[in-house]
Amino acid sequence: MAKNDATHHANPLRDSRDRRLSRVAGPSSLVLFGVTGDLSRKKLMPAVYDLANRGLLPPSFALVGFARRSWADEDFAAEVKESVQAHCRTPFDETVWKQLSQGIRFVQGEFDDDDAFERLKTTLAELDEQRGTQGNHAFYLSIPPKAFELVCRQLSDHDLAQSDGENWRRVVIEKPFGHNLASARALNGIVESVFPPDSVFRIDHYLGKETVQNILALRFANQFFEPLWNANYVDHVQITMAEDIGTGGRAGYYDGVGAARDVIQNHLLQLLALTAMEEPISFNAEDLRAEKEKVLAAVKLPKDLSTHSARGQFAGGWQGGEKVKGYLQEDGIPAESITETFAAIRLDINTRRWSGVPFYLRTGKRLGRRVTEIAVVFKRAPNLLFTEHSDDDFGQNAVVIRVQPDEGVTIRFGSKVPGTQMEVRDVTMDFGYGHAFTESSPEAYERLILDVLLGEPPLFPRHQEVELSWKILDPFEEFWASEGLAPESYEPGSWGPASADELLKRDGRTWRRP
């Protein structure tokens, strides 16, 4: 066992109520490549501070930045402090910052600069000696995917990726994990030729959100959900990730990638897997991943992709009282681009539990509001008693899991309207994290960075999951490319193009309006 890798293997005699002790990282450092990018400034560096402020990082922790800027350690520390004060979730505490800042270092260099990686090696050796990081180092590649291979090779060539058995070395890579199945396999081959598979952490920040993890608690810790969670009772499932903004300065990345590759391949298929999976025998990584992979392997594509998929591109117009540009007018977008900003698909899962239950996935920009949710919609109750009502008078029961922004769960059911007549109307029961718990939910990156330092991988998809996801999406992408048609235009502030509504209408269903 690597030294201090198992702080979570705590003393079994300790007070079992003190759950925090099992989640404190051991001596280690986090090396950030791409520290000048938005992700590092707005998410990663504040998350590190928030972990320290919550007492979840040890005194022997170090944060190392690697970038082209000609910064001294003090300059980088000032940048980190500015990011933390602007974006941290917990109150800023000068004492916590002083402790954390003593372990902040900076290495200047390009990715192809051998001397820079030698300086990084020297810096980490000094931290082992001065800060007691004990050779435990995680490398976070917050960089374009095209640079993954070069940085991984450099880490290997300079003996930074290898563990001697007494310590650990890990690498963290951000999505996208390739742009199709072939590129994902090539990327996995590159990364896993340098780091062992169990030392590769593929970050999907959605899997760090409290509500995503609550899917497992909702299903398997409650007796009254799981017996109904199957084709006998469920009519269909809708999984939505909607944004009310445009590309938001990501034009260089987004164009040519599009909504389906950006969101459906990773976020939404992961949510589908968690919603549809069988109960794992434990929460360890192998058991959890095995059940998710079974679901993804059982996904069946529609025979006719043209009638069971939709693509759209937002036009210019008015949204929320503000005049907004269309996608083709946004800075950095080619005027002839046929990249979609909205995508919707239907999938089926070929298992006994889900046979005949369609899963509808949709995502888009410039939609009606920002929301991510999973709606499990149940079959209509037989209208035997309420004969004066038509079937259409009764809505369908639903369990709606809100992933963001108002994390919680809503249950929709029919109830009698007060009065002398027997009139039934849909009502909702709502659970919100912010109302039910005094603790505020940690940012997703707090949870994920801590899991990396602890070596706990259940929330991170391994390469089999990534490849199965591309196997599902690639046929849609190839079909859309073969058509060569521009996506259908839709108004900003709407819920997507008319073809998305037609997709469900053909099945006798309609999209929810969150």
The response to whether 365 counts as a known ligand-binding position is yes
Strand pairing category for 408-416 and 317-319: unpaired
The active-site residue, picked from 236, 267, 308, 463, is: 267
Q: Rounded to the nearest 10 degrees, what angle do helices 463-483 and 181-192 cross at?
A: 150
276 exposed, middle or buried (CB, 10 Å; 0-12, 13-18, 19+)? buried
The response to whether 146 counts as a known ligand-binding position is no
Tokens at residue 430, please? Answer: 């709502």
The response to whether 205 counts as a known ligand-binding position is yes
DSSP letters, 165-202, are SSS-EEEEEESP--SSHHHHHHHHHHHHTTS-GGGEEE
Cα separation, 158 vs 169, in Å, equals 13
Cα separation, 424 vs 421, in Å, equals 9
Q: Is the peptide bond before 475 cis (omega within 30 degrees of 0)?
A: no
Cα separation, 319 vs 328, in Å, equals 17
Q: Which residues pair with 228 in a beta bridge?
A: none
The 10 Å Cβ neighbour count of residue 92 is 12
The 10 Å Cβ neighbour count of residue 6 is 12
The response to whether 68 counts as a known ligand-binding position is yes
The response to whether 128 counts as a known ligand-binding position is no
The response to whether 111 counts as a known ligand-binding position is yes
**Which residues have C-beta within 8 Å of that of residue 492, sequence separation ≥ 6?**
314, 315, 316, 317, 318, 319, 324, 326, 366
The response to whether 243 counts as a known ligand-binding position is yes
- Look up 267 and say whether it is catalytic: yes
Binding-site annotation, residues: 68, 110-111, 175, 205, 209, 243, 262, 365
Task: Please state the residue numbers annotated as binding site for substrate.
Answer: 205, 209, 243, 262, 365
Active site residues: 267
For the annotated binding site for NADP(+), the residues are 68, 110-111, 175
